[in-house]
Amino acid sequence: MASITRPRSQQSQRRTRSERAVLAAVQRLLDAGECFTELGVQRIATEAGIARSTFYLCFQDKTEVLVRLAATMKDELFSRAAVWRPTGPSGGPEALAAVYEDRLAYCRGRAPLLAAIAEVAAYDPVLREAKAQEIDRFAHHITSLLQEEQREGRLSEDVDPVTAGQVLAWGGEQVIVRQVTTGGPDGDAEVAREMAYGQWFGTYRRRSDPGGSRT
């Protein structure tokens, strides 16, 4: 049994190393200014130091590589964003602005990857669906926060948490991508503040008077 298990374990380890090499290679190539749509599998394999055939043992195609890179980035962004809650010592609009500024800084350090994701998602249904699922994860998280705020009476009953969660998640994604890909870093803090205050007073602390007007 040991003689069978050991080779399988070694093969799994080699595959994991190859996958990591490919992911790192694509990240390096993008950071160096390469256009993802013009990158061939052979170019990626060469940069990763593996054979072309090894690449296809690890990934179906190069789009799967981009999907994996996008998922890793979104996992990190989600963990950073999930620490904020509307109430408590770290709540409020200033803390939310700090979260958005941190997200902008993180994304700015990965601007070439972000641009590649946006470009390929425009025509590739696999990446587009993967991107949508990741943003929906943010939307579900926001929805849960809004539902809790509503249960505690801090959020107006006229707010639909599901719809609001979708709007805030998808809208926030578009603003961040646009700022990172077309705006300068000097404007990140102001953009983060406007995002936070718009969400705070437009959703989290939106109130309705008995006549139905919002304040």
pLDDT tens profile 115-130: 999 999 999 999 999 9
Sign of the C-alpha dihedral computed for residues 195, 201, 202 and 204 taken in this order: positive
- Taking only Cα atoms into account, the Rg of the chain, rounded to an integer number of angstroms, comes to 21
> What is the pLDDT confidence band of residue 214, given thresholds at 50, 70 and 90?
very low
Rounded average pLDDT over 147-175: 95
> What is the pLDDT confidence band of residue 211, given thresholds at 50, 70 and 90?
very low
The DSSP element (H or E) to which 98 belongs, if any, is helix 93-108
Question: How many beta carbons lie within 10 A of that of residue 214, not counting itself?
Answer: 11
Residue 195 and residue 93: Cα distance in Å, rounded?
Answer: 9
Residue 1 confidence (pLDDT) above 80: no
Rounded average pLDDT over 119-142: 94
Asked if residues 204 and 142 have their Cβ atoms less than 8 Å apart, the reply is: no
Instruction: Collect all residues with Cβ–Cβ distance below 8 Å to 61 and sequence separation of at least 6.
Output: 41
Per the model's pLDDT, the better-predicted residue between 10 and 76 turns out to be 76
**Which of 35-44, 166-175, 202-211 bottoms out in mean pLDDT, i.e. has the lowest?**
202-211
Report the pLDDT value the prediction gives residue 206, as an integer from 0 to 100. 82
Residue 63 and residue 69: Cα distance in Å, rounded?
Answer: 10
Q: What is the token pair recorded at 207?
A: 């109130």
The structure's pTM equals 0.85
Nearest Cα to Cα of residue 175 among 162, 188, 164, 163: 188
pLDDT tens profile 19-32: 999 999 999 999 99
Residue 208 confidence (pLDDT) above 80: no
Rounded average pLDDT over 66-72: 95
**Which of 6-15, 94-103, 188-197 bottoms out in mean pLDDT, i.e. has the lowest?**
6-15
Sign of the C-alpha dihedral computed for residues 169, 179, 31 and 128 taken in this order: positive
Instruction: Collect all residues with Cβ–Cβ distance below 8 Å to 167 and sequence separation of at least 6.
Output: none
Beta bridge partners of 214: 208
Residue 4 confidence (pLDDT) above 80: no
Report the pLDDT value the prediction gives residue 213, as an integer from 0 to 100. 45
Nearest Cα to Cα of residue 60 among 126, 6, 122: 126
Rounded average pLDDT over 85-92: 90
pLDDT tens profile 95-109: 999 999 999 999 999
